[in-house]
Amino acid sequence: MWMMVMFDLPTETPAERKSAAKFRKFLLDEGFEMVQFSVYVQFTGTWENSQKYVRAIKKNNPSYGDVNILFFTDKQFSSIIHIANRVEKTLKEEPSQFELF
């Protein structure tokens, strides 16, 4: 399971810019990776694991603006086509599990 957070936050005033930057930093601190400036993704493993991030995002989202959360299976996420500078690139793959002996 992959989780994508997309947002459109106001940045007209210094206070709004600070709030938007704080939200971006929060997502990075939670382990999300930036795909585009207002689009962040993270592999959560299962639906149940993703719910702790949903709760955290609801708690930390700014007072103004829009935040959308989408969920993708591994197969759906792997079918995303990413083109940068006219070159097709692959998105991050599912992290491998660690084996403990």
DSSP assignment letter at 46: S
Prediction pTM value = 0.82
Helices 47-60 and 14-29: crossing angle in degrees, nearest 10, is 160
Share of residues in the chain with pLDDT > 90 (%): 72
Residue 45 has pLDDT above 70, yes or no: yes
* Nearest Cα to Cα of residue 64 among 3, 28, 4, 11: 11
| 3-state class (DSSP) for residue 61 | coil
Domains of the chain: 2-89 (3.30.70.240)
49 has a pLDDT exceeding 60: yes
CA separation (Å) from 95 to 2, 13, 16, 20, 39? 11, 39, 34, 28, 19
